[in-house]
Amino acid sequence: MSARKIPLRKCIACNEMKPKKELVRVVKNKENEVSVDLTGKANGRGAYICPTIECFEEAYRNKKFQRALQTEITEEIYSRLKNVIEK
């Protein structure tokens, strides 16, 4: 029996490929609502980021979430994501 394949995703800030479980997902659903998805299973378009403050600041400064999710991101979402990363 072969080992299970680990799904890899790319961090939008540092462009490193990492296992999906090591990253934090931000998702936009069909109603254009953006939220932080801690389960990694919510429906919609997702963007992944490393759980480091450096990657968060890079993505925030260069508006990488807005580009990846093709929508406007509110300060509330950024503050919620920062709280998740700092924990």
CATH number, position 14: 3.30.1230.10
pLDDT by 10s per residue, the chain, length 87: 678 899 999 999 999 999 999 999 999 999 999 999 999 899 999 999 999 999 999 999 999 999 999 999 999 999 999 999 988
Tell whether 38 is covered by a domain. yes
Instruction: Give residue 62's pLDDT.
Output: 95
Domain contains 39: yes
Would you state the pLDDT for residue 87? 81
Q: What is the pLDDT of residue 1?
A: 66
Amino acid 3: pLDDT: 85
With respect to residue 3, please indicate whether it lies within any of the assigned structural domains.
no
Q: Is residue 60 in a domain?
A: yes
For 49, the domain range is 8-86
Write the CB contacts of 65 (distance below 8 Å, at least 6 apart in sequence): 12, 26, 34, 47, 49, 59, 73, 77
Q: Total structural domains in the chain? A: 1
What's at 5, amino acid-wise? K
Residue 47 within a domain: yes
Whether 1 is in a domain gets the answer no
- Residue 57 CA to residue 3 CA, distance in Å, equals 36
pTM here is 0.90
